[in-house]
Structure 1
Amino acid sequence: MSINHTLKTQLVTPAHVQQEVKLAQRNLANSAPKENATSEKGTDVKLSALTQQIKADDSRDINLDRVEKIKDAIRNGELKMDYEKIAQVLMQNILDDR
């Protein structure tokens, strides 16, 4: 039995280097100026009356004054939590959803 020494060995390139090369080539191809680039016209979209009303609605579902008071209470360590009330409301919501 003999070992064949005539085969040439090649360097192995790590996978991450191969990926970086492919990514660089792809970026170069994407950044090259396109010769046949045409400008596309935008699509004309008309919103329904309800959608326009919702979009124009300035009312807020959040009481910002109350939120600020709660933030201040948290910062000052004055926020008192009623855990039993929270648990009751959560349980009630679960039962209502059934």
Structure 2
Amino acid sequence: MSIDRTQATQPIGAVQPRDTADNSLQQAARKTSVTNTPTSGTAVTLSSAQSALTQSNTQDINSQRVEELKQAIRDGKLTMDIGKIADGLLQDTQDYLKGI
């Protein structure tokens, strides 16, 4: 199969390098404009439930299981049931399509 060009291609112009000194001045100007922005008098109070959610909770992560999985990956002993993964993907897709 052959493709013939119908129009001649035009050369791309040269790319001009950036002046890094000018860039640092712009960044400094942005920082000063942000720091000089006045703050509003709005106060935010979180509910106890929201406060509990934002705090780090190590009970959510089973660190022993995570370490076991990391070691199994390192040793090349981690096996995955690809049929189970495929079934889960199909089920999620079906649930998503039902919700549309």
With normalisation by structure 1, the TM-score equals 0.52
3-state SS, counterpart of residue 60 of structure 2: coil
Partner residue, 2:73:
74
Partner residue, 2:52:
53
The alignment yields a C-alpha RMSD, in angstroms, of 3.9
Pairwise CA distance, 1:53: 2.4
From 15, 24, 27, the counterpart of 2:25: 27
3-state SS, counterpart of residue 19 of structure 2: helix
Aligned length: 79
Q: Which consecutive aligned stretches of 4+ in structure 1 deviate over 3 angstroms post-superposition? A: 14-17, 38-45
With normalisation by structure 2, the TM-score equals 0.51
- Runs of 5+ consecutive residues of structure 1 not aligned to the other structure: 1-13
- Runs of 5+ consecutive residues of structure 2 not aligned to the other structure: 1-13
Quickly say closer, same or farther: Cα 1:93–1:25, change in 2 above 3 A: closer
Partner residue, 1:9:
none
Pairwise CA distance, 1:47: 2.0
Identity percentage over the alignment? Answer: 31
